[in-house]
Structure 1
Amino acid sequence: MDIDLRKLRYFAAVAEELHFGRAAERLHIAQPALSRQVRALENDLGVTLLRRDRRGTVLTPAGAQLLDDVGPLLAAAEAMVRRVTAAATATRVFTVGFMPGITVTPAVRALTARHPGLDVRLLRTGWEDQVEVLRDGRADVSIVRLPIDQKGLRVLPLFSEPRVVVLPTDHPLAGRPALTVADLAGEHLLQDPDAVPEWRDIAQELRTGERSDVPPIHSVEEKLELVAVGAGICVIPLSTATFYTRPDVVARPVEGLGPGQVCLAWPATRHSRLIHDFTDVAPALAPPPTSP
């Protein structure tokens, strides 16, 4: 069965919005045209994907399954287009994604020494897209900070580094030279608790009410702004805290807080010579300084 990728994109928008009108605006098409395309996809598959009633739009079990499967499929198609387009250019291009605080210069220099004339491009990533840049082809490899979704990826550990808590300078704990995880259990963490399981486990035991929502945060700069105004605290790698030094926040070591792991990741289906050579030189990346 041949499935039209455009119909899958249209379905994904509706499934994510659960509203045909908002999905149509997002796709910049008319709502009736969007409805026709989704119905055509249902006819192609022979199943009902969405149900609409007075309460709104809901996914059927088949629709929920397709939504789980369609993201990687669309990302793979986008990655294929990027790689084919790049292959048609005269100059070889190799793109390295990297998280803030990580210096990639030594590995890039070692790679270009092996491949003179190679155009190495760097792509700064964040927690929300450090893996997505691999899945959609924006990067060939990515230097990531765990935890990540490793499905479909190969992951090579590079080094570990301490993590610190960042507090506003006027916070009651800011004057102490070192803290414990228990000291922070009652604080509002400005990140996914699963990224700091040590804090999560203690905070869950002590919490008496619902945890406040964390607003979408797209960069280290945004996170530090929120810390500075007293919206909460964050746990970040020491190298990142050192790189983003500012006078209205302080970084403190935390006893009982495990180190962060830095790894190299790339799509498991790719076996290019450039990726192989980068895996050779990446372990030479020097760990960041370990003193606050």
Structure 2
Amino acid sequence: MALGPEALRLLALIDRHGSLAAAAQELGLTPAAVTQQVARAERDCRASLVRRGPRGAALTEAGMLLAGHGRVIDEETARAATDLDGLLGRLSLRLRIGAFQAAALHVLPPALIALRHRYPATDLSIMDITSDRGVPAVAAGEMDVAVVAAWDRPPVPPDHVRLHPLLIDPMVVVLPDDHELARDTSAPAIDLGRLRDEAWVTIRAGHAARAQFDRAAAAAGFVPRVRFETESYDVAQAFVATGVGVALVSRLALTHLPGTVHRGLAGSELSRSLYAVTAAEHGVTPMVATFLRLLHEVADDITGSWPAA
């Protein structure tokens, strides 16, 4: 016997309504189509399933047995629809976010405040990540939005992941406040070549930020004398505050520590770019599109507050 779930469900409807016509109406079929389905099921089962009479239709003993299974199918179908509605309802409010440190400190908070004000029931989870983790996490479905930074070239995402440019974060020079160039307020920007003889606090070798700095120094005609290496702009600025050297730091990452001042770089395009990473299709997480708009608004506010280059 090869009886499909549609036939079992049809028998359950005939038993419920006591009529082929009523069962046909619920299924959106014609009575003739339902009659043909019953006949096909009886051939497949090699047994009579429905007795037709002047008062409607009734199931035989074999039909009643199969209708019981049809009712289970109906109940499970309804339960599946209810469960799916519940899941989609939860996912529609879910937002899993990852961001590197400077973005978590300066970009996320205003966007999150606005999001919670508009949608207080949003189910948020936020993770501190390194920028190289953002694209793989979104691609694997572990995060809905990641905010990442890139130097020189943007990351190359797979086809189902999209990059959304947020802002360009220029590099600035951080100096001890007793440095002669710090005391010279006549020039708001410094040519990198003027720093050729300085001791440097730099990002660790092997990082894209360090590679960008080394290329810029070579173009300016010097090899930097590196005194300290670190993976953190915060740590770099803390060392500068002690007076041991100077550093290049992104404007977004400035901490304005006592004992430091910063100056722009004259004639330089040294910078990093910030991107929001999302799936190409937002699917069941519509909060992604909302949060993406808020990130763009925050990025515009941030860059609008910076002095013109």
- TM category (shorter chain) comes to 0.5 to 0.7
Residue 168 of structure 2 is matched in structure 1 by 160
SS in 2 for 1:262: strand
What is the CA–CA distance in structure 1 between the aligned matches of 2:223 and 2:234, rounded to whole Å? 31
Identity over aligned pairs, percent: 21
Residue 306 of structure 2 is matched in structure 1 by 290
Q: Shift of the alpha carbon at 1:220?
A: 3.3
SS in 1 for 2:181: coil
Residue 262 of structure 2 is matched in structure 1 by 251
Residue 240 of structure 2 is matched in structure 1 by 227
SS in 2 for 1:264: strand
Q: Shift of the alpha carbon at 1:156?
A: 0.6
Q: Shift of the alpha carbon at 1:159?
A: 2.7
**Letter of the aligned partner of 1:240 in structure 2?**
A
Residue 265 of structure 1 is matched in structure 2 by 277
- Give the alignment partner of residue 149 of structure 1, picking from 145, 152, 155: 155
More helix, by proportion: 2
**Letter of the aligned partner of 1:224 in structure 2?**
Q
Residue 17 of structure 1 is matched in structure 2 by none
Deviations 1:123-179 (A, max 9, x none): 344556565664676643122333253333421112334432112223343223331
1:1-292 equivalences under 5 Å are 93-98=94-99, 99-100=101-102, 101-112=105-116, 115-126=119-130, 134=138, 139-147=143-151, 149-152=155-158, 153-177=161-185, 178-187=189-198, 188=200, 190-191=202-203, 194-195=208-209, 199-205=213-219, 206-207=221-222, 212=226, 215-217=229-231, 219-241=232-254, 244-258=255-269, 259-267=271-279, 271=283, 272-285=285-298, 286-288=301-303, 289-291=305-307
What is the CA–CA distance in structure 1 between the aligned matches of 2:129 and 2:247, rounded to whole Å? 18
What is the CA–CA distance in structure 2 between the aligned matches of 1:220 and 1:277, rounded to whole Å? 30
What is the CA–CA distance in structure 2 between the aligned matches of 1:160 and 1:196, rounded to whole Å? 17
What is the CA–CA distance in structure 2 between the aligned matches of 1:127 and 1:225, rounded to whole Å? 22
Range 223-232 or range 185-194, more displaced: 185-194
Q: Shift of the alpha carbon at 1:253?
A: 1.4
What is the CA–CA distance in structure 1 between the aligned matches of 2:131 and 2:176, rounded to whole Å? 22
Q: Is the 8 A contact 1:146 1:261 kept in 2?
A: yes
**Letter of the aligned partner of 1:149 in structure 2?**
P
Q: Shift of the alpha carbon at 1:190?
A: 0.5
**Letter of the aligned partner of 2:214 in structure 1?**
R
Q: Is the 8 A contact 2:202 2:210 kept in 1?
A: no
SS in 2 for 1:174: helix
Segments of 5+ residues of structure 1 without an aligned counterpart are 1-86
The RMSD of aligned alpha carbons is 3.9
Residue 23 of structure 2 is matched in structure 1 by none
Q: Shift of the alpha carbon at 1:93?
A: 4.1
- Structure 1 residues 196 and 290: CA distance shift in structure 2, 3 A: farther
Q: Is the 8 A contact 1:166 1:250 kept in 2?
A: yes
Segments of 5+ residues of structure 2 without an aligned counterpart are 1-86
Q: Is the 8 A contact 1:160 1:260 kept in 2?
A: yes
What is the CA–CA distance in structure 2 between the aligned matches of 1:245 and 1:134, rounded to whole Å? 33
SS in 1 for 2:178: coil
TM-score by length of 2: 0.51
Q: Shift of the alpha carbon at 1:212?
A: 4.7
State how many pairs are aligned.
Answer: 202
Deviations 1:205-255 (A, max 9, x none): 53469x7586442x33322223233454332232331xx121122111111
What is the CA–CA distance in structure 1 between the aligned matches of 2:253 and 2:288, rounded to whole Å? 26
- Structure 1 residues 275 and 194: CA distance shift in structure 2, 3 A: same
Pick the structure with greater CA Rg.
2
